[in-house]
Structure 1
Amino acid sequence: MPWYNLGVSVPLAERLRPRSLDEVVGQEHLTGPGKPLRRMVETRRLSSLILWGPPGSGKTTLARLLAQEAGRATQALSAVEVGVREIREAVAQAQRQGGLVLLLDEIHRFNKSQQDALLPHLESGLLTLIGATTENPSFEVNPALRSRARVYVLNPLDEAALYRLLERALAHPEGLRAEASPEALQLIAQASSGDARRALSALELAASLGGGRIGIEHAKEALGRGTLAFDKGGDAFYDLISALHKAVRGSHVDAALYYLARMLAAGADPLYLARRLVRIAVEDVGLADPLALRLAVAAKEAYELLGSPEGELALAELVVYLALAPKSNSVYVAWEKAQQAAQRYPDSPVPLNLRNAPTALLKGLGHGHGYAYYHDDPEGSFAQPYLPEGLEGLTFYEAHGEGWEERVRERLKSLRMRFRSLSSGP
């Protein structure tokens, strides 16, 4: 019988902790078919590694599952609570048992000498380390230790993954005996900033508030009682982020600043807002102002460096810049068209002149033959085919009339006319 059935109150997140990789939600880039952690489990060849990611992204869960699937003796320690003495005890245990998997949470809390104590035992293979950290290993883990342990990056869970997790919590035998509206689940997923533990805690509180029936008001109240109070004025989280995005897109500086300030005051994750602003720089400002993306990334990095409240000024500066910048969604539209064309014509042969020819055989088959190098032969370069046969007339990108695109619009028109006239022959 699980220990949490013995009259002990256990948080929902612990009760729902996955017991196999197949139950893990998110992190498909590590756990999906053919991906690194999946291969380790399938081959039972576990090597030392460090899992780096934000809170609630699944570091501890994945560490436990990897050790469990390896079928080897395991000891779990937290660097917050232990030191070199406990490491020596783990080494002694490993010597008695012929090896040990050491799960070391918060590994960044170890100082240099404590980290160095692990090195000879990792080198000999006596210990296999699975470390977990929320901090950048480039700065917090010694280079010598990093060279012996592969670093894998975990991402914040996206809203879709959190929504699936919340649905599972309502259906799981050890989950909640409750019903929830889709709107309530969506709000919790959006307001949890990629943190599974936070999402499940909010759901558990909402269930108690609603007496087993979770509506949007119970979700709002649960979030308001926690660290994320997005709805003091009655608006849902997604309404506020939508308003911020649309105010920036619509060039209304004052409204954009108001919604940014309101969300920060209500407890929204500043890095979530920074990521949304980077998206706006790409999607809505685009090539009307190519500097916008660089400034957006710089503002995100500035916040990561300074934290709150100082770093919030960088986000405010970015919001003002993006709101005042000229706007263009031309690349956004062009990319959608290009993706549709790739889906419709997935097998169209690349023209022979553009193909790679690393071997004599491929050269003999005509690969690369007739390619005109622009800097040596500009006219020939314009006359040669670039798109597959039958697709020559496709166009995706159209420069709009604002900012940088206004300056290049005539050049784009001239280039396309030149391609058409030269490629069509005399």
Structure 2
Amino acid sequence: MELEQLMSMGFSQELATQALAATGGNSTIKATEWILDQKPNSPNPNSSFQPKLNRFFSPQTQRKPLSPTINTNPELKLDLFPNPKRTKVQQNPPHHEPLSERMRPRNADEIIGQDHILGKNAILRSSLDCNRLPSIVLWGPPGTGKTSIAKAIVSSSTYKFVSLSAVTAGVKDVRDVVEEAKKKINNNRQTVLFVDEVHRFNKSQQDSFLPVIEDGTIVFIGATTENPSFHLITPLLSRCRVLKLNSLEPEIIGRLLRRAVDDGEKGLRKSVGMFGVVVEDDVFDFLSLNSDGDARVALNALEIAATTAAARELSSKDKGTLVSFQTEDVTFDNSSLVPFNGLGSGENGVGSLAAVVTLDDAKEALQCKHLAYDRAGEEHYNLISALHKSLRGSDANASIYWLARMLEGGEHPLYIARRLVRFASEDVGLGDPNALCQAVACYQACHFLGMPECNVNLAQCVVYLALAPKSIAVYEALQAAQKAVKESIGQNEGVPLHLRNAPTKLMKDFDYGKGYIYPPHHPSSSLSQTYLPPSLQGCKFFDWPVTNMDK
């Protein structure tokens, strides 16, 4: 019985007999598998071979197709005797540019946002219209388009573009660019030198730009996320216009995301290969609102979300749960029931499946809301200034908000606590002397507990200081006294003799401490005793109403 089945499948009687003998002779399936594992020394030209075998196997023993696409042929073709000389070539994966890099605008007209410098009659737009770019420094948060603007405006002009990164380049690289630029000038073509992260250059490196900017050898475009006032030398700033870029509005980021989905050449589809991409509207809203004005964060998160969706589709195919059917123009799949017009890898796009990017995919890709904060950068000082001014204005709600912004951004709690100790004396002062005790206790609590437990200690102290009565009398008194010391004509006067300490007989002989009245023993007489130098007699530094003396 088993021999006849094997022979009806196209195997020779000799081969079928050997297979049954080797496997015990009781199972056609085992005998067939034995035959498939054999490598015959020489093919038998007289033997007839029928490769269509899958109809004789149970579903558990059928081999999976090598192609990830669904095979509609009911008869699976197998290569039973592969050529041993055929080797699988391992190819290196192709270079993959991130979506944010591929979607950079190719010219100035494709730039979205920053209309205050690129809109009609704005400085850069006017410079492009005249084909005469000035040297500029683009200053703004990450992901606001500094590099994209630099590349796009040069692409829209006749300048030669050279890009350097201050992270990896040095003075030698700058000199090489300058030498090449001098040659280009002779050919009536000027060079634009773009330096990314220019704030990382030290003073001597920044000095190397000065002569070539001044004589027009190059047009300099620098990009920085740090405040140029603190990180760029004054001579360089005097030769450049500083243009401030703003964080992108959610509406602008939403338009950039939709452009990436709609671009079939270099957009989101390129990130997922064979798949088309359908993005739910909630994804655009979520990424736009949670990227903190950073287009790069939003685009990269969208790309990761699309990759996640594509992997889910591939997984459903491998498990055999994906069933597709197609009409004349549209293909459907049962995993999402979303129609996708043929743009995929199949011939003429027929049979392609769309990876559906859901809100859950976007949340998984972003993980948490992106916050633009740098503990050593400008935003660090902006936020602590906002907190300090909100406390001074007695606005507890705003104070709590700015505190939360700093904590969520990763600020060290002890830094905030130290600033609160300072505020307790500078702005609350004698209005509520207990405020200093509260602030010092808050610092100690933060030191003992650390984050995240100490966040409530900071919040309690912030609210206390915001609601406390304020007095800057002590702060102003100190300021006035320091001004008197600094502005005194000649040298500061010596301490009056009656106020000096006289621990030795020699010092007493020089009248140190002579005439000093001890107030606890002579409360009435001490009122006539003076304590300031003669030239400052009658000066009033501390202004505190008499009605407050008992407080």
Note if 1:134 corresponds to 2:225: yes
Indicate conservation of the 8 Å contact 1:278/1:293, yes or no. no
Q: What is the distance in 2 between the residues matched to 1:147 and 1:298?
A: 38
Q: What is the distance in 1 between the residues matched to 2:99 and 2:460?
A: 39
Displacement of 1:303 in angstroms is 5.3
User: What per-residue deviation string (whole Å, max 9, x for no partner) do you get for residues 74-100 of structure 1?
Assistant: 211111111111111111111111142
Q: What is the distance in 2 between the residues matched to 1:159 and 1:75?
A: 32
In the alignment, what sits opposite 2:341? none
Indicate conservation of the 8 Å contact 2:161/2:194, yes or no. yes
The residue type equivalent to 2:268 in the other structure is: L
Name the % identity: 36
The residue type equivalent to 2:165 in the other structure is: S
Q: What is the distance in 2 between the residues matched to 1:273 and 1:189?
A: 23
User: What per-residue deviation string (whole Å, max 9, x for no partner) do you get for residues 159-195 of structure 1?
Assistant: 1111111111111122123112221221111221111
The residue type equivalent to 2:293 in the other structure is: G
User: What per-residue deviation string (whole Å, max 9, x for no partner) do you get for residues 344-384 of structure 1?
Assistant: xxxxxxxxxxxxxxxxxxxxxxxxxxxxxxxxxxxxxxxxx
The residue type equivalent to 2:246 in the other structure is: N
Q: What is the distance in 2 between the residues matched to 1:293 and 1:124?
A: 55
Change (3 A) 1:166 1:298: closer
1:27-46 to 2 correspondences below 5 Å: 27-46=114-133
The residue type equivalent to 2:411 in the other structure is: S
The residue type equivalent to 2:146 in the other structure is: K
Structure 1 residue ranges, 4+ long, deviating more than 3 angstroms after superposition: 267-282, 289-300, 310-325
Higher helix share: 1
The equivalent position to 1:114 in structure 2, one of 205, 214, 218, is 205
The residue type equivalent to 2:361 in the other structure is: H
Q: Is the partner of 2:127 in helix, strand or coil?
A: helix
Note if 1:143 corresponds to 2:234: yes
Note if 1:201 corresponds to 2:307: no
Change (3 A) 1:274 1:180: farther
The equivalent position to 2:135 in structure 1, one of 48, 51, 63, is 48
Note if 1:309 corresponds to 2:404: no
Q: Is the partner of 2:214 in helix, strand or coil?
A: helix
Of residues 311-320 and 28-37 in structure 1, the stretch that sits farther from structure 2 once superposed is: 311-320
The equivalent position to 1:187 in structure 2, one of 286, 305, 310, is 286
User: What per-residue deviation string (whole Å, max 9, x for no partner) do you get for residues 282-319 of structure 1?
Assistant: 9xx9xxx955399759958x959x96223666796599
Q: What is the distance in 1 between the residues matched to 2:250 and 2:192?
A: 33
Displacement of 1:321 in angstroms is 3.8
1:214-225 to 2 correspondences below 5 Å: 214-224=357-367
The residue type equivalent to 1:122 in the other structure is: I
Change (3 A) 1:280 1:32: farther
Q: What is the distance in 1 between the residues matched to 2:230 and 2:373?
A: 22
User: What per-residue deviation string (whole Å, max 9, x for no partner) do you get for residues 91-148 of structure 1?
Assistant: 1111111142111111111111111111111110111100001111101110000000
The residue type equivalent to 1:109 in the other structure is: R
1:137-286 to 2 correspondences below 5 Å: 137-173=228-264, 174-177=266-269, 178-211=277-310, 212-224=355-367, 229=368, 268-269=371-372
Change (3 A) 1:137 1:303: farther
Change (3 A) 1:156 1:88: same
Of residues 118-127 and 65-74 in structure 1, the stretch that sits farther from structure 2 once superposed is: 65-74
User: What per-residue deviation string (whole Å, max 9, x for no partner) do you get for residues 249-278 of structure 1?
Assistant: xxxxxxxxxxxxxxxxxx644589999999
Indicate conservation of the 8 Å contact 2:213/2:219, yes or no. yes
In the alignment, what sits opposite 1:101? 192
Indicate conservation of the 8 Å contact 1:116/1:145, yes or no. yes
1:81-96 to 2 correspondences below 5 Å: 81-96=168-183
The residue type equivalent to 1:208 in the other structure is: T
The residue type equivalent to 2:222 in the other structure is: G
Give aligned pairs, total: 275
In the alignment, what sits opposite 1:292? 395
Of residues 168-177 and 53-62 in structure 1, the stretch that sits farther from structure 2 once superposed is: 168-177
In the alignment, what sits opposite 2:487? none
Indicate conservation of the 8 Å contact 2:305/2:364, yes or no. yes
Indicate conservation of the 8 Å contact 2:383/2:402, yes or no. no
Change (3 A) 1:73 1:269: closer
Change (3 A) 1:180 1:298: closer
1:350-365 to 2 correspondences below 5 Å: none
Unpaired stretches in structure 1, ≥5 consecutive residues: 1-5, 231-266, 326-426
Change (3 A) 1:280 1:110: closer
Indicate conservation of the 8 Å contact 1:296/1:318, yes or no. no
Unpaired stretches in structure 2, ≥5 consecutive residues: 1-92, 270-276, 311-354, 420-454, 468-551
Q: What is the distance in 2 between the residues matched to 1:100 and 1:274?
A: 37
Q: Is the partner of 2:292 in helix, strand or coil?
A: coil
Change (3 A) 1:160 1:280: farther
Change (3 A) 1:131 1:209: same
Change (3 A) 1:108 1:323: same
Displacement of 1:22 in angstroms is 2.3
Change (3 A) 1:46 1:275: same
Q: Is the partner of 1:70 in helix, strand or coil?
A: coil
